[in-house]
Amino acid sequence: MRRVKEPFRYQVDGVVHTGMDQANLDNLGLDEDRLKALQARYEVHIRSEEYFERQWKQGELQLTDRLMFTDATYRGHKLHLGSYIEEMRQYRQQLRDYNCLDQDRPVRPWWFDG
């Protein structure tokens, strides 16, 4: 389930590009038909990634559910003592707010490795 989010890649004149920001597209000088075809491929890519990203997000939330109890411990440390619980709350909120279509994945707190 630890699948990495795949970037969109495309080739123009033998050069592989990633991403779909407008400045790069303008610099490529594509005609309207090629640009529309590329945008359609991008949509398909994003929609297919959306399923996997949703699965990843749900897995992360389930993995961290147990850490939200008042008496939760992680590697022998009580989470409600110190900043651990707040960092985990923030991470879980970032997961809930995560929009896989245009955002990078939220980063786990440094101390949590699953």
pLDDT above 80 for 1? no
Report the distance separating Cα 6 and Cα 91, nearest Å.
21
Minimal CA–CA distance to 4: which of 46, 64, 56? 56
Task: Evaluate whether 109 touches 91 at the Cβ level (below 8 Å).
Answer: yes
- Per-residue pLDDT, 3: 67
Quick count: other Cβ atoms within 10 Å of Cβ 4? 8
CB 53 within 8 A of CB 5: yes
pTM over 0.85: no
Classified as helix, coil or strand, 15 is strand
Question: 4-46, pLDDT tens digit by residue?
Answer: 777 777 787 888 877 777 777 777 788 888 888 888 888 888 8
User: Is residue 94 very low, low, confident or very high in pLDDT (cuts 50, 70, 90)?
Assistant: very high
